Amino acid sequence: MFQLNGKVAAVTGSGSGIGKAVALLLAKQGAVVHLIDLNDDAIKTTATEIGQANGKAVPHVCDVTNQQQVKTIFNSIGKVDVLVNSAGVSHVGNIENTNEEDFDRLYKVNVKGVYNCLQAAVTLMKQHRSGVILNVASIASHVGIPDRFVYSMTKGAVNAMTLSVAKDYLHEGIRCNCISPARVHTPFVDGFIKKNYPGREDEMFDKLSKSQPIGRMAKPEEIAHLVLYLCSDEASFITGCDYPIDGGFIKLNN
């Protein structure tokens, strides 16, 4: 079950965190994985790890906010069976202390970047009347989280784009779903804590971990396993859905 032999997958943000864990698992399950990330060294490292595990990966340095770059890379891939939109950035702030530069930066990566990859992938998938798309949204698109104004806005847009693509391409053989993780322990989280809470790293890590009812952050590999299922043929009856993977955050955090 959950084998992807003969499938071609494109994973954005595959240099680290959730995207890297997804790329490693999809390759382990037999897919040829095209690694899409802005960080050249990071995706080369991911590609090396996949190769050492006897998997197949092709790294592509790409700025997902640049539509022409995205189109060129996807056209070079030729056939895409699976797209995972994992690339994203975050920001801490409410409406008053979110400036225009912050707003534009998050919009460009988290919304326009997803749009660019969706458009490029759907165009290719239509030619074969098949394909699976998985977008990474967030619990922030479901519940109010303090000081996450613009991040929540962008993840709400990802959720909405997921529904729209699922509806529009239902009869083209293309499925589109998204997941909404809570906090996941990635290098991004460690960097975020170090930057915003210098000298209080251990305290804040413990506090953020315990904000999930389950008492800890998720591991990237746990997120990847849900992604694998939704991208596999075993999930062929699922489209237009969002799956919280949140340690009980949405329903039990009261």
Residues recognised as catalytic: 151
Question: How far is it, in rounded angstroms, from Cα 164 to Cα 214?
Answer: 32
Burial 125-148 (b: 16+ CB within 10 A, else e): beeeeebbbbbbbbbbbbbebeeb
Question: How far is it, in rounded angstroms, from Cα 11 to Cα 82?
Answer: 8
Identify whether the C-beta of residue 50 lies closer than 8 Å to the C-beta of residue 24: yes
Coil, strand or helix at 194: helix
The residue whose two tokens read 């906090």 is: 183
Burial 177-210 (b: 16+ CB within 10 A, else e): bbbbbbbbbbebbeeebeeeeeeeeeebbeebbe
Identify whether the C-beta of residue 243 lies closer than 8 Å to the C-beta of residue 229: no
